[in-house]
Homo-oligomer: A and B are copies of this chain.
Amino acid sequence: MSRDFRTAIATVCLSGALEDKLAAAASAGFDGVEIFEPDLVASPLPPGEVRLRCADLGLSVDLYQPFRDLDSTVPDRFAANLRRAERKFDVMEELGADTVLVCSSVADDAVEDLDVLAEQLRELAERAGARGLRIAYEALAWGRHVNTYDRSWEAVRRADHPALGLCLDSFHILSRGSDPAGIAGIPGEKLFFLQLADAPHLSMDVLQWSRHHRLFPGQGAFDLPGFLAPVLAAGYSGPLSLEVFNDVFRQADPARAAVDAHRSLLALAEATLPAAAGPPAPAVRGHAFVELSADDSLSPVLAALGFARTGQHRTKPVERWEQGSARILVNRSGSPAAVGALAVESADPSGAAHRATWLDATRLPRERGPAEADLAAVTAPDGTALFFCRTGSEEDWTGDFVPTGETAPGIGVTAIDHVGLAQPFDHFDEAVLFYRSVLGLEPAADGEFAAPFGLVRSRAVADADRRVRLALTVSLLRRGEWAPGVSEPQYVALAVDDVVAAARAARAAGAPLLAIPDNYYADLAARLDLPAERIAEYRELGVLHEENPDGAYLQVCTEVLGGRVFLALVQRLGEYDGYGWTDAPVRMAAHRRRRLAREHAHA
């Protein structure tokens, strides 16, 4: 189209996988795209192929973004950041992108002195310019020392390098109330890139917080026992009353919400008032088993993962599979794979069930159980059955199974590390409170991540010894009309001591391990100082590696197994206490890709 301006869109604006985004942008008439790095990292397309794809679609690659936290007051870190940049320049050359967005640093070691900052930017620009690339430096509104466009311009002006210019983003400038008039005085050739976004006027003041985001006690972050204690100490004798304004509860089934609310008061009163104590929560000692409903495809995968089929249920089509202390029951109901039941080892199963009932949980009729033994069980908010077991005791559930005598050498699985349970959108907070109050678990991690098909909030609950861990996730806005079946699956994470060895053995035995794109490993190599051989092993086996100062978390996932479940082998290094959420978007994109490939193959 002959116009006086060109249009572009950042891939982050659009839902889906990178190829969905490129196709949508081209079809809508955009001239170019900004490639948002996480979209490339999650994509199986090599950068050179993205370049060709864009060319075929008539799209230019106008920007690669973002490069974060370049400058540093610590010389070693700055040197590492330059090395990281060189890796990204490699990617840009393959992509055919000549400009990279460099954000002002938000890190503790960000450079405050404008001359030092200019010098570091000049050094980066010199390297970029030598390869025919350009640096567009942008002041983030929340940058540590550079958060206004005039300050970013002053740094660029002092650096005075032809390969260095500014990126201006309307959000960062207008959200701070800066006057854009001064931009007119900047030389046009120094304005390398322009990003546009509108926004509503928003202030999440305490009023908005109060009117939309309150929760029932035990679902949030307030110390409510610490609040209630002085009120009772003062002699208050009226009711404990809930006043909770919450957008989700406002539209939820009131009968369910009221049960959730009532449970919150029982738990709060118990935590504060000795007279209000309910039946105690017996200690949980680990995952007893996970029951998966399944068709015939699941058992071979368990075998390939080193599990032995150690038992066959006396009366039901249920198999018991074991490895280390990990036990998985396979209910060969023929239905698509899903987590049907969780079972925890309890110091006192009937006491635990008694407590759950006191907390308004629904007792599960016995016939629903996977076992003949009179296992105490209740229904969790998402419908999963929750069993309380004491394996090895008199009422042992294992007696319901006829031993097969089968054994397997195993691949090193030692236990169930955790179970991942995607929640219905309006039962997420309820689930957190349920597991806290019924099992005595405590919130162990909180997060949110931008998954390929929408934002996902996540929260893990665990016991203090980390013997029972549950990772809960929710897609608050996900409706999936345009891409059905991409909602977050459930999973069982299996603990191993050496994920590379375990994955190699599993693959040799035919386990359908999920392939992770090369772009992920290129990015991993740029980000972390890992030996090249190790990255090569990771790439070969599809190992995802995330780390923080506490340690690292390595995982290998299977494909989604004929339903909404996958299995993962996970290795924790050091004191890592997370749940793989950093890499979850990459894993979710890979799962979606496999699904499409399978559907394509069957079509």
A→B interface (CB under 8 Å): 3-10, 12-16, 20-21, 23-25, 27-32, 34, 62-63, 65, 141-142, 168-176, 180-189, 191-210, 212-224, 226-231, 233-259, 261-262, 264-266, 268-269, 273, 275-276, 360, 425-426, 450, 453-455, 475-483
Contacts and interface: CB of A to CB of B under 8 A. Distances in A.
Contacts of A182: 230
Contact of A222 (B8, B63, B198, B476): B198
13 contacts: A3-B269, A7-B262, A14-B249, A15-B251, A170-B224, A194-B238, A197-B245, A198-B221, A198-B244, A200-B215, A250-B450, A251-B475, A254-B482
Given A14-B261, A141-B206, A185-B234, 13 more contacts: A5-B275, A9-B242, A14-B258, A15-B252, A21-B254, A142-B205, A194-B240, A197-B215, A197-B243, A198-B217, A198-B222, A198-B244, A202-B213
Contact of A221 (B21, B201, B244): B201
A215 to B, nearest CB: 4
A188 B142 contact: no
A228 B30 contact: no
Contacts of A227: 170, 173-174, 180
B243 A12 contact: yes
A186 B360 CA distance: 34
A199 to B, nearest CB: 5
Nearest to A206: B141
A213 B197 CA distance: 10
Contacts of A208: 204
A482 B253 contact: yes
Contacts of A209: 175, 199, 202, 204
B231 A269 contact: no
A4 B244 CA distance: 23
A233 B181 CA distance: 10
Contacts of A217: 170, 196-198
A230 B184 contact: yes
Contacts of A226: 180
A214 B199 contact: yes
A582 to B, nearest CB: 16
Contacts of A253: 15, 481-483
Contact of A244 (B10, B21, B62, B249): B10
Nearest to A483: B253
A237 B191 CA distance: 8
Contact of A3 (B23, B237, B275): B275
Contacts of A31: 239
A442 to B, nearest CB: 14
Contacts of A28: 255, 258-259, 261-262, 360
B257 A15 contact: yes
Contacts of A191: 231, 234-236, 238
Given A209-B202, A238-B62, A250-B455, A243 B273 contact: no
A296 B207 CA distance: 48
Nearest to A247: B455
B250 A194 contact: no
A242 B13 contact: yes
A208 B269 CA distance: 34
A30 B240 CA distance: 10
A189 B258 contact: no
Contact of A197 (B13, B206, B216): B216
A231 B276 CA distance: 65
A265 B204 CA distance: 28
A27 B362 CA distance: 13
B5 A193 contact: no
A266 B142 CA distance: 30
Contacts of A250: 15, 450, 453-455, 477
B14 A254 contact: yes
Nearest to A198: B220
Contacts of A13: 216, 242-246, 249, 257-258, 261
A213 B198 CA distance: 9
Nearest to A176: B206
A30 B221 CA distance: 24
Contacts of A4: 269, 273, 275-276
A29 B454 contact: no
Contact of A16 (B215, B237, B254, B454): B254
A7 B265 contact: yes
Given A199-B221, A212-B455, A249-B14, A62 B241 contact: yes
A360 B543 CA distance: 44
Given A15-B257, A239-B62, A425-B479, A171 B201 contact: no
